[in-house]
Chain A
Amino acid sequence: MILFHLDPRSGVPTYLQLVQQVRQAVQLGILRPGDQLPTVKDVVGALAINPNTVLKAYRELDHEGLVVARRGVGTFVADELPSPPDDLKGLRASLHRWVERARAAGLDDENIAALLAETTRAERPARVA
């Protein structure tokens, strides 16, 4: 069973944090196909967050095909996980090279993270507004 945690200062919306934690758990094998995700009630009881936030996260995961919601029973990790995006390998490789370049330029981990956050944020208004 996965344990959720929340970072209220990260700037990442709560529901997204939950989504990311489920994705990570699946990738790391903490959650396996067929495992049940905690009920909405359990999650809000642990984190003191709005149930709609959890529903939103679970809906997003369902949309991605990572989980399956079964009415009256619960939400379960999908038996067949969606394949990772085709160019994930390519993305990872170019990210590797970029990080090497950044380090060579003298950026430390914190600067790298800040640069990354700024860039992803700059890309986001197009989606939200």
Chain B
Amino acid sequence: MTAPVHAHGLGKRYGATWALRDCTLEIPTGSVTALVGPNGAGKTTLLQLVVGLSRPTDGSVRVFGADPVGDPAAVLQHVGFVAQEHPLYRGFTIADTLKLGLKMNPNWDDELAHARIEQLGLPIRRKVGKLSGGQQAQVALTLALAKRPDLLVLDEPVASLDPLARREFLQSLMEAVAEGGLTVILSSHILADLERVCDHIIILANGRTQLASPIDDVVATHRLLTGPRADAAAIARMHDVVSERHTERQTSLLVRANGHVYDATWELHEVDLEEIVLAYLARDRSAMADTVRSA
């Protein structure tokens, strides 16, 4: 079974800047993967490479085994995409928008599309430009789902939505996933949402993959250790330290534990996903600052 997405050494450069570098990852079938990272981390670049809107500068990406740039027709039939700010034709009615989906997608399920619009209570004869942000996002999602994709790619789908619209969007999305046969990648800032909805996470910062792992594993293997400062070095040798804080005598380390931490001098605490993600993002920023200072 070919993986929905397989990237190898993937990189994209715009002019002199590398927006994405050395990205190797595989998205597991049937997963709902969160793509997290600060602005400019390369999330949109990665997603654009996956759907063939961009051409890689380095490395390769394969979607169900096919090249999205070289063989767009083969890939796009199986991939539903909602770009940032869910672009739609404002002058089209919802009905027109669905007709566009019908005309441009051989696998289009018109019944499903109309049923979904009706179930959501959206006014099918109204122009898209006159809908609320949440309604537009739902239309864009319908457009992506009705082509019966095997992979759904969403670039910050809920960023501009109010909390209620966001919740409704995610409910809708999860129902679609529950029906089976769908792998989802969604990028977002809002970590709380991602934790409910996703089972895999990829952290991107500065164009590089910081972490790619099932969420349960992430929470299970990361621990906050507090203990005497003097012993910090020993711990650091055995486990991956993600972030650290020191006072004169005490140290607090967030580690990705390689096995059990047996040392009794250290207090162990579980950490929630949000704290772990923030630690990874902060780590990269300080590393960047260090390189800048030393340069």
- List the interface of chain A (C-beta within 8 A of B): 6, 8, 11, 14, 39-41, 44-54, 121, 125, 128-129
Contacts and interface: CB of A to CB of B under 8 A. Distances in A.
A44 B220 contact: no
Contacts of B167: 48
Given A8-B192, A44-B171, A129-B220, A49 B197 contact: yes
30 contacts: A8-B192, A8-B195, A11-B272, A41-B175, A41-B178, A44-B171, A44-B174, A44-B175, A44-B178, A45-B171, A45-B175, A46-B171, A47-B171, A48-B167, A48-B171, A48-B196, A49-B174, A49-B197, A50-B32, A50-B174, A50-B177, A50-B196, A50-B197, A50-B199, A51-B174, A51-B178, A54-B178, A128-B220, A129-B221, A129-B260
Nearest to B31: A52
A54 B199 CA distance: 12
Is chain B's binding surface mostly helix, strand, loop or mixed?
Answer: helix
Interface in B144-187: 167, 170-175, 177-179
B198 interface: yes
Interface residues of B, number: 25
A8 B196 contact: yes
B121 to A, nearest CB: 14
A8 B195 CA distance: 10
Interface in B184-230: 192-193, 195-199, 220-221
